[in-house]
Chains A and B, each alone.
Chain A
């Protein structure tokens, strides 16, 4: 029994108990527990006693004790914040009051400081406003893109069928052969619903009406199941039956208003492409902003066999056909995907089964998957978010810089507060309060600015982002985080510096700039800021030059002053009528009918070819272009061998480009007169064209062939004389409308058309200009603030220097040299980063500009210029000041 004192309760239980127990009760409770433990040892033995002890310790997780514990913690925290009141027995009750009083005091001081240093406040607020509005806008953009097509209640079970073509390379499409919808429905038990969605552009007219209104709106052929898969609610009509009959259509409320002006649209009819009539049987609620399915007219699926019967084949994958399926609940998508291999074997012959493969793509993946031409790349969103973070950091850095510099001016205040008994923590929180106030002001402006800028952003990015701060939970959370993070990043360092002042030094006014928070840290911050803006600047310059190269470099054909017009009816009579009408116009120099210009982002068809007597098709595909014999001269294409095509519909002739000849492994002259089978039509090679760029500079030149095929000419290209374009265009429009009265006129210049290759680049460029400008502007604000402050600090130094004979130049240099140094250091950091990033960007282009020193020199030159403009005025003003004033002001 003697040694029972040596038996102690389990240590971990003891520790746990200490953690859980409210500190003020700790002593008595632990005492009781230990005493009980001793008693228990006597009564039930050591082992059981330990067990009981542990259980007892665990019981302190009871809500009663936890509540007490949390209350004590809170109290302990507020104690730190608490005002500097002497401890009285009842101090605990007074704490909240003291806290509010001190907070009031902080706010008053903050308000006074801010209004006393107006320029400082304005600079800070402005920087933060810009940074934060970019943050808010980019966040809502990212949020918008991430939330695409998430609103469908069955979204996790909806999949799109995709195709893969395994040839020389594997090409992936989000589109499928038309019969696959029925195959999915019939062949697989895991498919609950399946629907095709086949979308075309269309012109809508109303034969029964007299106003002859015409609209250009897209239509989608779709099966009734479509509305069972996706959640697009009906306002009128029955979703299950609306599209079951041929020649029926469902339109959105918006279109119903546009077409029928508020009359009940149900039962009304419209005509598509001057051919097919449809009766409206249902009206859809307007489409939500965040869906990739944008068609506003859905027409019944059986009708497609009337309008485009040729589409119904397993052999072709048109970019208009999509198939959506709804899997049964609990289906393993991977297994379903594997099971789909049987489509290839069931519907294709042995050879094609190896080429055509089909897969499932989750609905949530569609918007951002670049392999299938998703609307936006994840990497772009990440890049944007990074830029937003950078801009916010730049603004915070500004704040830190200015505030730390400013701290010197407040040394007396801090000194007095310290003497009165302020603790470090209190001073720190005081400064945080002040920062929070500035952040809040900036935030209010930032919200306003974001609302103003939103329409421009939507237009620029062709998005439909809405800014509704209370719409879903993520926005308020983001904003709160933004406020907190900005406040703490910008407030904590200056706060620490302020709080760390030695009161005596501070009151004596002996603090100098170098002692305040270490100038080196501020230098580091300025360097960071400028490194960021210089990197952005380098990137902007490079992208700009590449874009210029894209539009100006020789593509191997003429693209200026060529107007492309649609040819709605591809009959020979119509063509000759159009040709005759256009040739009357004196401004039109050349006319050619074609299906696609030498280079085009759309309407490209690549197909297989078999050369001369070779037993098999070649491994590569050839781009198939059709055009009349004027094609070469209109676009200024040159022949390296052979002759031009002859106008003939009986004998088929082909022109091949040099790349095609090279890929065939023959010489140009050798090819002339040889037989070739392209697109399953056999013909003779009559000539070889000099290579021209048939796609963007991102791609290598592909094998291309040109042949005559009148029924395929869906476009017409006019070479016009450059003089007086508006008149020319007007007369062309008139001529077109005369020959095609039932259709809607549109035109495009070839060079503009080619710009579509670089649409995203153009967009990126605009954004980069914007962000680089904002980054530099914020940086300059900071620089301006710093230099003003330095000038104020150095008044006396400048006075002394001037009396001793220093010139204006040397004094300006006094300011300049520091910043010049910083800029150069920033450049040393920015240049390699920019070089690396831009090399990656340019690697995407097969034909691109080279990175050269000029670009980098331009970048640093621009920064220097801007910095000089910013710093110059202030420093010259400081240098020109009368030294007597400066020295007398003591």
Chain B
């Protein structure tokens, strides 16, 4: 059991990081989630998820460039690690297995 599992929200955040590729940071991720998942997203929740993911080793981060709208403050840019990708793939696989196992009445 030497591995951490992901919560649903964490998984979404991790996916968002992957999608955003190099431009993933708090605001952009929150924005991405709002658009795709169509639900209200709190910035602090995103941050907590990000820091947790980093502690678990699924993302890494570095301080990135400042923009004018941030009042010249730097942003922390996140990117997914190999472990993160593996984790996502694994989740996907497990889910797929389940979906395959479901006998949908419509098909029959």
Chain A residues packing against B (C-beta within 8 Å):
25, 27-36, 38-39, 55-56, 59-60, 62, 64-65
Closest A residue by C-beta to B46: A32
Answer whether residue B67 sits at the interface, using C-beta atoms and an 8 A cutoff. yes
Check if B31 sits within 8 Å of A39, measured CB to CB.
yes
Distance of A60 Cα from B63 Cα, bound (Å)? 21
Could you list some 15 contacts between A and B, CB below 8 A?
A25-B51, A28-B26, A28-B63, A28-B75, A28-B76, A29-B26, A32-B26, A34-B73, A35-B67, A35-B69, A36-B26, A36-B43, A59-B42, A64-B51, A65-B44
Does B74 make an interface contact (CB < 8 A)? Answer: yes
Q: Contact at B74–A28, with CB atoms within 8 Å?
A: yes
- The answer for the CA separation of A29 and B27 in the assembled complex, in Å, is 10
Tell whether, in the assembled complex, residue A62 and residue B48 are in contact, meaning their CB atoms are under 8 Å apart.
yes
Contact B30 A60 (CB under 8 A): no
Provide the bound-state CA to CA distance between A33 and B42, in Å: 10
| Shortest Cβ distance from residue B23 to the other chain A in the assembled complex, whole angstroms | 12
Q: Which residues of B contact A35 (CB under 8 A)?
A: 27, 67, 69-70, 75
Whether the pair B47, A29 counts as a contact (CB closer than 8 A) is yes
Q: Is the CB of A64 within 8 A of B48?
A: yes
Q: Indicate if the CB atoms of B26 and A38 lie closer than 8 Å.
A: no
Q: What secondary structure prevails in chain A residues at the interface with B? A: helix
Q: With A and B bound together, what is the CA distance between A30 and B48 in angstroms? A: 14
| B83 interfacial contact with A, CB 8 Å | no
- Taking CB atoms, residues of chain A closer than 8 Å to B44 are 56, 59-60, 62, 65
Which residues in B have their C-beta under 8 angstroms from that of A65? 44, 48
B43-83 interface mask toward A, CB cutoff 8 Å, 1 = contact, 0 = none? 11101100100000000000100110111011110000000
Chain A residues in 8 Å Cβ range of B51: 25, 64
Chain A residues in 8 Å Cβ range of B73: 27-28, 30-31, 34
Interface residue ranges, B against A (CB under 8 Å): 25-27, 30-31, 42-45, 47-48, 51, 63, 66-67, 69-71, 73-76
**Beta-carbon nearest neighbor of B66 in chain A:** A31
Q: Do residues A34 and B63 form an inter-chain contact, with CB atoms below 8 A?
A: no
Q: Which one of A32, A38, A56, A65 has the highest number of Cβ atoms from chain B below 10 Å of its Cβ?
A: A32
Which 5 A/B pairs are nearest by Cβ-Cβ distance? A31-B73, A32-B26, A59-B44, A31-B70, A28-B76
Question: In angstroms, how far is the closest chain A Cβ from the Cβ of B77?
Answer: 9
Cα distance A55–B43 in the bound complex, in angstroms: 10
Least CB distance from A547 to B in Å reads 74
Least CB distance, A70 to chain B, in whole angstroms: 16
Question: Contact: B31 with A32, CB < 8 Å?
Answer: no
Among B27, B42, B44, find the residue whose CB has the most chain A CB atoms closer than 10 A: B44
A25 to B71, CA, bound (A): 16
Chain B residue with the shortest CB-CB distance to A57? B44
CA distance A30 to B43 in the complex (A): 11
Cβ-defined contact, B27 with A39, below 8 A: yes
Chain A residue at minimum C-beta to C-beta distance from B71:
A34
List of A residues within 8 angstroms of B76 by Cβ:
28
Cβ-defined contact, B66 with A56, below 8 A = no
Contacts of A59 in B (CB 8 A): 42-45
Query: Min CB distance, A43 to chain B, in Å?
Result: 10
Residue among A25, A31, A64 with most chain B CB within 10 A: A31
Is A36 a contact partner of B42 (Cβ separation < 8 A)?
A: no
A38 and B69 form a contact (CB under 8 A): yes
Measured CB to CB, the closest approach of chain A to B82, in angstroms, equals: 24
CA distance A28 to B30 in the complex (A): 15
| A30 to B26 CA separation, bound complex (whole angstroms) | 11
Q: Contact check, A32 vs B66: say whether CB atoms are below 8 A apart.
A: no
- B42 close to A56 (CB less than 8 A): yes
Whether B25 pairs with A32 at a CB distance below 8 angstroms is: yes
Q: Is A31's CB under 8 angstroms from B43's CB?
A: no
Q: What are the residues of chain B within 8 A of A36 when measuring CB–CB? A: 26-27, 30, 43
Which B residues lie within 8 Å of A30 (CB)? 73
Q: How far is the CB of A663 from chain B (nearest CB, A)?
A: 85
Query: Which chain B residue has the least Cβ–Cβ distance from A22?
Result: B51
Q: Which residues of B contact A38 (CB under 8 A)?
A: 69
Supply 14 further A-B pairs (C-beta < 8 A) apart from A25-B51, A28-B76, A32-B75.
A27-B73, A28-B74, A30-B73, A31-B66, A31-B70, A32-B43, A35-B27, A35-B67, A35-B70, A35-B75, A36-B30, A36-B43, A56-B43, A65-B44
A56 to B27, CA, bound (A): 12
* Residue in chain A with minimal CB distance to B49: A64
Shortest Cβ distance from residue B52 to the other chain A in the assembled complex, whole angstroms:
8
Among B26, B31, B66, B70, which residue has the most Cβ atoms of chain A within 10 A?
B70
